[in-house]
Amino acid sequence: MTRMILNLPYTSSAVPPPVARRLALSPEEWQLEHWRLIDPHLGEIVREAACFERRKVKTDHPVIVYPLSPLVADPWGLWAAELADGSEDASPRRPAVLPRTTAGRPLAWPEKDIELILGRSVVPFHQEITAAARRLLDEAPLVLVVTLRSYGAMPLPFEKSRKYPRPQAAIGSQPGLTPQGLAELAGSVLRSCRWWPELNWPQAEGACLPEELAGNPRVRALGLSLCRGLYLDERTGHRKSSAPGVVRVLRILFNLLDQELDRVARLRLDRALAPRIKKPPPIPSPVIKAARLQGRTE
């Protein structure tokens, strides 16, 4: 049994014809925008990594894909925040239409059209995640929703973070949604695989939940962004020979996160069933403890 849901908000390029006519982008502009905003290769890699085997039983983590381009609507508002004016308050992250293209062309929509677009594109995506989480909650006391996206090895002109070189992975956390130990565990696992991870950089946050799940204490969230240079030749658009290694690392990460969720769930159950007497604080898992020690020495 899995306790994780993987969601891919930026891997699809589909655009309904009415929206395409309204945006009126040239073929070259469509190609540029989709090259920068979406990553179908990441979707293939995550699907491969989502299959795992435990105790000789094969299981697939649920993978939920946003079926439309973010140029239609941004299901989490992460690209919309990146493209927002510096003077605008982009927090908290929420579904939105992009304020402009990555090339700087303004995208103005009437308010009534925005509501219609979000209702027809983003709402079904969020409902699918909510339904999957509720199914898992029927069998598991704790569920983790992981949002996966990617970024280029070189900073692009529209990105707010221009620092270079860039890490190979960015772990996205958000107070109230991401347990601290879980982000530390993800970083420790990636470092053990000789990757360079950072917290909330170069892509910030990324831990996202639908409104229906945001207040549920049994549902947590984590973001994970990968540098495309790990698995993609960004000049040609072809997958590198290193892509299978990325699949293996992600499979290890997903498996260890799932085990940590199981440990936390058992700990909560023990606390609920134990008599109410004073006990010493619980000892963190060895993996999280090692991650904290490693962070202090770096």
Q: Give the whole-number percent of the chain exceeding pLDDT 90.
A: 78
Q: Please state the domain extents for the chain.
A: 4-32+41-68+122-297
- Per-residue confidence (pLDDT) for residue 191, from 0 to 100: 98
- Per-residue confidence (pLDDT) for residue 296, from 0 to 100: 65
Q: Average per-residue pLDDT in the chain? A: 91
Q: What share of the chain is helix, strand, coil (3-state, %, to 5)?
A: 40, 15, 40
pTM for the model stands at 0.89
Tell the residue number behind the tokens 């639908």, with chain if given.
210
**What's the CATH number for 4-32+41-68+122-297?**
3.40.630
Amino acid (1-letter code) at residue 51 = C
- Residue count of the chain: 298
Phi, psi dihedral angles at 20 (to 5 degrees): -60, -40
How far is CA 234 from each of CA 77, 201, 283, rounded to the nearest angstrom?
25, 20, 44
Task: Identify which has the larger pLDDT, 279 or 120.
Answer: 120
- Per-residue confidence (pLDDT) for residue 161, from 0 to 100: 92
